Each structure stands twice: as C-alpha cells, then as structure tokens.
Amino acid sequence: MKLIITDTNIFFDIISIGALPEFFSLDYEICTTIFVIQEIKKSDQKEAIEVFIRAKELNVIEFSPDEIGEISEFKTNKSFKGITDKSVLWKSLQLECPLLSGDKKLRVEAESQGVEVHGTIWVIERLVDNNMISKAKGVHLLEYLKRVNSSLPLDEIDKLIKNFKK
C-alpha cells in the first residue's frame, strides 16, 4: 500500500462533501501530522477524524523536540505562518511520499522541492477510477465541492464533471 500524507484543508473539503469514509477506502496508507489534527477545531469535524484515528486508518505522526526544531529550521522558498504546512512538507520529503494539499502556496513549494502533490479533485477522481463510487456520485461530490470551496480551480472541476457524464 502506498503512503500519502495530507494537510488540513483536504480534510475540511472531504468532510464538507461527506466523503470521509470513501477517502479512507482508497488504497493508500493515509497519514498526517499532529499539527494538522490540532488545526481541526470544530467538534463534528474532530469527531469524524478521530473515528479513523481510533480505527487505525489514519496514522498521526508526532514529532520529538529535535524534529520540531528541524521542521522550524527547514528552509523553504515560501514563508509559512505556522509549523503545520512545513510539517507535512518536511515529512513527505522524509518519507518520499505524495502530499495532498489544496493550499496553493504549499503546493508550489512542494512541487519546487520535487514532491508529488494532489488535491481534493484528484481524490474524487481516484474514487471514480477505482470504482469506489459511481461517476454519478463523483459528479454529485464535485458539484457540492464547488459550492463549499470556491477557491478550487472551477474549470478543472467542470472538465472532470463533463468527463464523468460521458
């Protein structure tokens, strides 16, 4: 099973469209960092994620004080406000695994460092491609995603919707 690490906004998108169980059914070992988990404040979102932590379907990476120091000192081209984005990028480089992020600044930084990066649209596409959801369900999720996150590339979503409707 291939490892993949995710940032906070992927969880927010996936929870918002009601596709968390499907997300965790993908053939990936999904992990995140403790800093991402700490950013999830709403009780319903926190509870939804904790179900998958308890079921050992989400691996939460914790860091030693030395590792936190390394992450803080980790040189990036972009400046990040907190440690959360740096922690997932640092760990994806360390583990040599893809990163899931919808954050443009993190995505650009990760790609400049040679990290494979995907977002929520890619997740939905994988679910359809692997027959975990129907194309009709994929269209529904993408349409809903457009309503809950207008910062996503709407033209890319529309292209995928058109493709699923073929």
DSSP character string of 41-72:
-SHHHHHHHHHHHHTTSEEEEP--HHHHHHHH
pLDDT digits (tens, 9 = 90+) for 60-87: 999 999 999 999 999 998 888 889 999 9
At position 43, the amino acid (one-letter code) is S
At position 88, the amino acid (one-letter code) is V
Of the listed ranges 18-27, 73-82, 93-102, 112-121, the one predicted with least confidence: 73-82
Q: 10 Å Cβ neighbour count for 30? A: 18
Q: Is 166 helix (H, G, I), strand (E, B) or coil?
A: coil
> What's the rounded Cα separation, in Å, for the pair 161 and 156?
9
Evaluate if residue 44 carries a pLDDT over 80.
Answer: yes
| Region at 56 (left for phi over 0; alpha for psi -120 to 50; beta for the rest) | left
Per the CB < 8 A criterion, the answer to whether 108 and 78 are in contact is yes
CA dihedral sign, ordered 119, 120, 126, 128: negative
> What's the rounded Cα separation, in Å, for the pair 31 and 94?
13
The CATH number that domain 2-120 falls under is: 3.40.50.1010
Evaluate if residue 166 carries a pLDDT over 90.
Answer: no
Could you tell me the residue ranges of all domains in the chain?
Answer: 2-120, 131-164
pLDDT digits (tens, 9 = 90+) for 137-155: 999 999 999 999 988 999 9
